[in-house]
Amino acid sequence: MKTLFEMQRQVDDYINQFKAGYFTPMENMVRLTEEVGELAREINHVYGPKQKKLSEQEKEIGLELADNLFVLICLANSMNLDLTDYFEQTMTKFNTRDKNRFERSEL
């Protein structure tokens, strides 16, 4: 299994083979918004009331999530952000601030 650092490196290697390089943070944000919309549409088709049109292709939610992750990594890389470090900070926040927010399951 790849680490988040390895994923960021793999995306960086992929993007750096092209002259254009990374899109700007604003362009990546727009792309991410588009990808989130596609994910929302698929979730609505599977778990919500919206029926697919007969002309629409079946898509996998996992692939839509991965598309979002790719663009999110592009956004982070374009701003030289280490997602592993920020993820650890976020988990520390959730494990302290929200420690008693929800009822715990019995293990």
Domain for residue 8, yes or no?
Answer: yes
- CA atoms within 13 A of residue 101's CA, in its CB half-sphere: 7
Domain for residue 105, yes or no?
Answer: no
Q: How many residues does the chain have?
A: 107
Any idea what the CATH number is for the domain that residue 70 is in?
Answer: 1.10.287.1080
Domain for residue 53, yes or no?
Answer: yes
The count of structural domains within the chain is 1
Domain for residue 92, yes or no?
Answer: yes
Backbone angles phi, psi at 51, to 5 degrees: -90, 145
Domain that holds residue 91: 4-97
- pLDDT tens for 31-74 read 999 999 999 999 999 998 877 776 777 789 999 999 999 999 99
CA dihedral 89, 29, 73, 37 (to 10 degrees): 100
Domain for residue 24, yes or no?
Answer: yes
- pLDDT tens for 15-31 read 999 999 999 999 999 99
Q: Give the per-residue pLDDT at 22.
A: 98
Domain for residue 39, yes or no?
Answer: yes
Angstrom distance (rounded) from CA 25 to CA 60: 27
Domain for residue 107, yes or no?
Answer: no
